[in-house]
Homo-oligomer: A and B are copies of this chain.
Amino acid sequence: MSRVAVTYRVSVRPSDVAAVAEGIALEQSVELPASALHDAEIQANIAGRVAGIRQRGEELFDVDVELAAATMGGDVAQTINMLFGNSSLHAHVELVDVRFPEDLLAALTGPRFGARGFRDVVGAHDRPLTCAALKPQGMSVESLAQLCETLARAGIDVVKDDHGLADQAYSPFLPRVQACQRAVDRAFAATGHRAIYAPSVVGAPRRVAEQIHIARDAGTHALLLAPSLLGLPAFAELVHNAVEVPVIAHPSFGGATRIAHPLLIGTLYRALGADAVIFPHASGRFAPPASQCRELAVRARAPLGKLLPALPVPAGGLQLDSLGEVITFYGRDVMLLVGGSLLADPSHVGDRAARFVAAVREASLARDGARA
């Protein structure tokens, strides 16, 4: 019987770890104590089992549990239910890794476009892509569209709505998306640079469905969606049934889990269909450990069944004067998102965006030079 290998990181005293590990294996499968399991078939094929315990610190352990794939019923929601349903209620347990067996992996569809979905549109295949955000919310549709055009004319590859932009009265979704797409179209006509505008699609399911229609009618080339906010099962179904353009996943509400970010954002968002994944970079205002950022980027791009790689998008306070280091850190198959740093002085947004674009090209050339 096929098993999913799951690793939980557990804060517990060494004397308790064996019982805690056994407890997780049962909680995430049959939800009964072993003493109440009377059916040999269920014990053998349905109950979770502990496959290993590795000490990582004085009171910190990695517990490997094998869960029966049959319990997951071929469904995203039920898979999450089995991976981390009740155990999420235990504050001392974190979900840090999931390894799907071949049959489940084959059922995952993953990104439909990957990095090429963005690269083909903007015509850039050999350098990091650049991304900027439209903000702050509260601006009018006209002001947002003007900012969008400024950024596109400066050569930014992907101009995305701030994830806080939804369908508010001061910049309703329909006119905003139409105006911003027209703005990148004007910039293309003027400069020959085809920028992608990615609207922020956020709402309860019916509203999201309407917004996806509006964005398609407006001709946008990508969408920004927050999988953890919409719900992971709803996100996966939307991407594969309703969206015809590349999807950028935003981590909003995704930190409100005890699922390690490399797994959640690098593996799971990708497995559910994200073509690009935004995450906080080590040097910014969220300051996760650099090792975590590296692992996340590795997971987004590493071979995983037949899944396309997803494009890592480090963000969260990148500064214009240290982009070289960031590119060295992630390599060139990356999209750099610089938000607030471009907008500090409203009269110089275009200049700063152009500096961003130039800095990425220069850093990229410098790397080529160093290699040659």
Contact = CB atoms under 8 A, between A and B. Distances in A.
Contacts of A207: 75, 77
A302 interface: no
Contact of A344 (B36, B138, B169, B252): B36
A122 interface: no
Given A135-B30, A138-B30, A71 B253 contact: no
B89 A46 contact: no
Contact of A36 (B88, B95, B253, B340): B340
A136 to B, nearest CB: 3
A255 B139 contact: no
A230 B340 contact: no
A80 interface: yes
Interface stretch (A197-205, A322-330, A363-371): A197-205
A274 B305 CA distance: 39
Interface string A303-321: 0000000000000100000
Interface string A44-88: 011100000000000000000000001111011110111011111
Contacts of A290: none
Interface stretch (A104-112, A177-185, A186-194, A233-241): A233-241
Contacts of A90: 255, 286
Contact of A73 (B47, B168, B255, B286): B168
Given A30-B164, A38-B346, A42-B139, A88 B256 contact: yes
Nearest to A235: B231
A219 interface: no
A137 B46 contact: yes
A254 B89 contact: yes
A258 interface: yes
A136 B37 contact: yes
Nearest to A237: B204
Contact of A88 (B72, B136, B255): B255
Given A164-B71, A252-B81, A31 B339 contact: yes
A138 B233 contact: no
A177 to B, nearest CB: 14
Contacts of A203: 73, 75-78, 233
A120 B340 CA distance: 56
Contacts of A280: 89
25 contacts: A23-B285, A30-B164, A31-B137, A31-B162, A36-B344, A39-B136, A42-B138, A75-B202, A75-B207, A77-B230, A78-B202, A80-B253, A81-B226, A85-B226, A86-B286, A87-B255, A88-B254, A89-B251, A89-B316, A90-B286, A204-B234, A231-B232, A231-B234, A256-B256, A257-B257
